[in-house]
């Protein structure tokens, strides 16, 4: 179990490291490197954040494709494929020439590679999450599920450390010319990790039990084709039997995604860009985001362990309610320009996000039966991601430009928290669920 948890943590950390590298670069580098120099600052920033959002548009597609594959052929095989896709796409972004060299082909190719990143993340989360939750003892499912969740803040920390290390090692001009590419190229290491998962880990007990329960098809080709055709796609089946769970799971994720991506992407752009925000040093915002993300880690594990004893819904709803209130303190603290107060704003925000994100892996796994669990959990998670995280930096930037104030951004976060609170309230409690006994009949609330 420890090896499975450590592997899930390593896989999700490097996968999210790749995904978040893009977010940090979208705020600091891409507006200059991949778009025309004569674009107004707000326009180039929104254009850069739009390519960032493409990854989120791809995530539900990845959830569908990998969900089908993972429910039919195993959690491990789907996870390995997703890890390899991410490693290749991120490495190629690091090698991609800029606008000055390729013209309009530069942002176009950037969008294609970002789409591949989104497909990979759409498949990776379900595989890593089920690898730990379906292996875990029932009374520690939330705690071990947090290892898959912890990859997100840890990956963000690694991404910011990578940019801070390069920033400290080269001149500002060298950083913009080639230094930012170094962390992207190092993502080729993810391919090696995918091979480790393939060679050293077994698939989950729940999937093995599902596989054993399937009738053996005839060796005759015609009979095998008939059996395959008779089986309904897991994605179609989960959409028919679990539409309520998928919708509410997506709603439960809104507050996490909106707040998280505003704190790690929009906040960096707002803090560092003198023309649209505060004009603070790049290192100030990167360190504040890094420290805030580190503090999310203990909150993840504490909230997940708490949910194993007392249920998923209560701690999740408490985090949403407190975050809705804290949203009105974040930007006034940032506007002081004080590193300590900026860091405090992000730390508290990330702690409250962790109260929701930690128990989420177990909660979503427990909503669906084994034969459609990969598809159902991935769809709920990725739909929430696209509605919340994908557009959060764009919406926040547009609100700032429209009202010349961050109050609109705070209201945006608080509304997401209200929707999350309502969604979790409408979900049933799941923490005592037996993952090997969940039947499709439980789709009816």
The pLDDT, as a whole number, for residue 224 is: 45
Q: Is residue 444 part of a domain?
A: no
Cα separation, 375 vs 242, whole angstroms = 11
pLDDT in tens, 352-365: 999 999 999 999 98
Angle between helices 373-385 and 339-365 (to 10 degrees): 150
Q: Can you tell me the mean pLDDT for 66-77?
A: 77
Cα separation, 245 vs 428, whole angstroms = 9
pLDDT in tens, 189-248: 777 776 776 666 666 666 667 666 655 554 444 444 444 444 567 788 888 889 999 999
Q: Is residue 328 part of a domain?
A: yes
User: What region does 337 belong to: left with phi over 0, alpha with psi -120 to 50, or beta?
Assistant: left
Q: Is residue 430 part of a domain?
A: yes
Angle between helices 75-95 and 189-200 (to 10 degrees): 170
The pLDDT, as a whole number, for residue 203 is: 63
- Do the beta carbons of residue 398 and residue 276 sit within 8 Å? no
Residues in the chain: 445
Residue 381 in this model has a pLDDT that exceeds 70: yes
Query: How far is it between the farthest Cα atoms of the chain?
Result: 73
How much is the mean pLDDT over the chain? 83
Domain of residue 63, residue span: 2-439
Question: How many other CB atoms are found less than 10 A from the CB of residue 357?
Answer: 27
CATH number at residue 260: 1.20.1250.20
The pLDDT, as a whole number, for residue 299 is: 94
Q: Is residue 162 part of a domain?
A: yes
Q: Considering its fold, how many domains does the chain have in total?
A: 1
Q: Can you tell me the mean pLDDT for 45-71?
A: 79
The pLDDT, as a whole number, for residue 247 is: 94
pLDDT in tens, 92-128: 988 988 877 888 888 888 888 988 988 888 887 787 8
Residues 6+ apart with CB under 8 A from 299: 350, 351, 352, 353, 354, 355, 358
Residues 6+ apart with CB under 8 A from 226: none
pLDDT in tens, 277-314: 788 988 888 899 889 989 999 999 999 999 999 999 99
**Assessment of whether the complete model's pTM goes beyond 0.85:** no
Q: Is residue 388 part of a domain?
A: yes
Q: Is residue 445 part of a domain?
A: no
The dihedral through the CA atoms of 308, 204, 380, 116 has a sign that is positive
């Amino acid at each position: 179990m420890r090896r499975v948890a450590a592997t899930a943590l390593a896989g999700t950390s490097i996968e999210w490291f790749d995904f978040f590298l893009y977010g940090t670069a979208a705020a600091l580098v891409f507006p200059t490197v991949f778009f025309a120099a004569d674009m107004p600052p707000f326009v180039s920033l929104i254009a850069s954040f739009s390519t960032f959002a493409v990854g989120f548009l791809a995530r539900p597609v990845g959830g569908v494709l990998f969900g089908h594959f993972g429910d039919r052929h195993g959690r491990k095989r789907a996870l390995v494929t997703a890890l390899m896709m991410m490693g290749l796409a991120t490495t190629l972004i690091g090698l991609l020439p800029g606008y000055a060299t390729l013209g309009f082909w530069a942002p176009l190719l950037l969008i294609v590679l970002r789409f591949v990143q989104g497909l990979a993340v759409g498949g990776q989360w379900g595989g890593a999450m089920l690898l730990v939750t379906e292996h875990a003892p029932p009374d520690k499912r939330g705690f071990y599920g947090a290892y898959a969740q912890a990859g997100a803040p840890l990956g963000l920390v690694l991404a910011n450390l990578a940019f801070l290390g390069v920033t400290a090692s080269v001149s500002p001009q060298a950083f913009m010319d080639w230094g930012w590419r170094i962390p992207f190229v190092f993502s080729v290491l993810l391919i090696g990790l995918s091979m480790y998962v393939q060679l050293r880990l077994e698939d989950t007990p729940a999937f093995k039990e599902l596989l054993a329960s399937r009738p053996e098809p005839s060796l005759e080709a015609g009979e095998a084709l008939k059996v395959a055709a008779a089986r309904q796609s897991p994605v179609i089946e989960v959409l028919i039997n679990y539409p309520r769970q998928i919708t509410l799971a997506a709603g439960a994720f809104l507050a996490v995604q909106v707040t998280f991506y505003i704190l790690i992407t929009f906040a960096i752009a707002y803090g560092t860009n003198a023309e649209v925000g505060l004009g603070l040093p790049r290192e100030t915002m990167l360190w504040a985001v890094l420290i805030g993300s580190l503090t999310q880690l203990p909150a993840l594990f504490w909230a997940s362990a708490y949910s194993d004893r007392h249920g998923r819904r209560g701690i999740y709803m408490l985090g949403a309610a407190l975050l809705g209130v804290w949203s009105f303190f974040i930007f006034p603290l940032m506007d002081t320009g004080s590193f300590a107060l900026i860091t405090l704003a992000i730390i508290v925000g990330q702690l409250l996000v962790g109260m929701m994100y930690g128990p989420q892996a177990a909660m979503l796994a427990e909503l669906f039966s084994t034969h459609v669990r990969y598809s159902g959990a991935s769809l709920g998670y990725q739909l929430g991601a696209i509605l919340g995280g994908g557009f959060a930096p764009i919406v926040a930037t547009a609100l700032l430009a429209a009202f010349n104030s961050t109050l609109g951004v705070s209201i945006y976060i608080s509304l997401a928290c209200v929707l999350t609170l309502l969604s979790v309230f409408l979900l049933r409690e799941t923490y005592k669920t037996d993952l090997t006994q969940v039947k499709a009949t439980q789709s009816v609330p």
